[in-house]
Structure 1
Amino acid sequence: MIILVGYASVEGQSRKIAERVAAEVEAAGDRALLLDIGLGGEYALGHPEAAILCAPIHAARYPAAFVAFVRQEAEWLNSVPSAFISVTLLIRSELEEERQEAQHFPDGLLSETGWKPAMVHNAAGALRYSEYDFFKRWMMKRMAAQEKAPTDIHHDHEFTDWTALRRFVADFRVTART
């Protein structure tokens, strides 16, 4: 099976997650077509039979290029097995209401675009202090302190549960074949 693994990334964690998804797909014997949606380009070369899309949420919004892609391709995405990985730090929040909010971020995207993926996975992102400008680094450090997350700005900190992601990809491959 040929699976499109499309992603949009802001600081790099969604790209890293998509690369891991593609590696899992390939290791399981399927073919992955990795596509950076933010760069545009064509993906039709391999005629994907399924799709897993991945995008981060920043300030309660997914990247505009990602939303435009999903809107444009919703009919195709709904005609093949598809899944969505939503990436946000809030999914690992200490506060239940923030975790609940993060779990519902995909609802707005799906409602807005008409896409109906068979599966949705909420993945925790990363604090990429090395990617932030001075103001964002200061703001993220303050927010991290409130969440009891790492505040060492000299190192990046990943929170993605790679084992859960691996299970999600395996479950999707089973679902895609039924």
Structure 2
Amino acid sequence: MKILVIYGTVEGQTGKIARFAEAELEKLGHRVELVDADDPTEISFDGVGAAILAASVHQRRHPRTFEALLTAHREDLRKIRTLLLSVSMNAAFPEGLEEAREYLTEMEMRTGFTPNEEMLVGGALRTSHYDYFAMQVIRHVVMRDRPFDPSETDHEFTDWDAVAACLRDFAG
């Protein structure tokens, strides 16, 4: 089956997840087309049987380009099976799951599109890229004083085994 993997990333973790999805789906024998929502290339749905939609959340919102793409192609997407991977720090912690689900609900209301399946995926911290102010936001707003080591330049909260299992279940 031909599967589109459409993604919107800000700091790169969702791009990494999209490439991981591409590799996992190809291992299962599917043909995969990877599409960056920031790339103005036209998307063809000819022969596509399913789509994996992956986007990060920053400031309670998925990237505007990703949401615009969903809005523009929602009729095409409704004709095929879809799985949305919503990547956020809140998804990494049990007490954050309700808020992470709200991000999806808000996006669905803005775009008028609801995927067939959804998965909340933990994101990553790229502390080497943050200035002092950004680190304070990370520590007190994003992480909400949860324990983490800010000296660690990159920390992934993505559960790769869970993502792989979800992709296998979705792709059949």
Q: TM-score, normalised by structure 1?
A: 0.88
In 2, the alpha carbon distance for the partners of 1:101 and 1:145 equals 13
Letter in 2 for 1:147: R
Letter in 1 for 2:146: E
In 2, the alpha carbon distance for the partners of 1:133 and 1:15 equals 22
List per-residue Cα deviations over 1:23-65 (Å, max 9, x = no partner): 1110100011011111221232864221111001111111110
**Counterpart for residue 147 of structure 1:** 146
Deviates more, 1:4-13 or 1:44-53: 44-53
In 1, the alpha carbon distance for the partners of 2:93 and 2:119 equals 16
Q: Superposed, which structure 2 residues align to 1:157-172 within 5 Å?
A: 157-172=155-170
- Segments of structure 1 that go 5 or more residues without pairing to the other structure are none
Q: 2:108 aligns with which of 96, 110, 113?
A: 110
Deviates more, 1:83-92 or 1:127-136: 127-136
Letter in 2 for 1:117: P
**Counterpart for residue 54 of structure 2:** 54
The structure carrying a bigger helix percent of its residues is 1
The structure carrying a bigger strand percent of its residues is 2
Q: Superposed, which structure 2 residues align to 1:1-178 within 5 Å?
A: 1-44=1-44, 47-93=47-93, 96=95, 98-143=96-141, 144=143, 146-148=145-147, 150-174=148-172
Are the equivalent residues in 1 in contact too, given 2:45–2:76 (CA < 8 A)? no
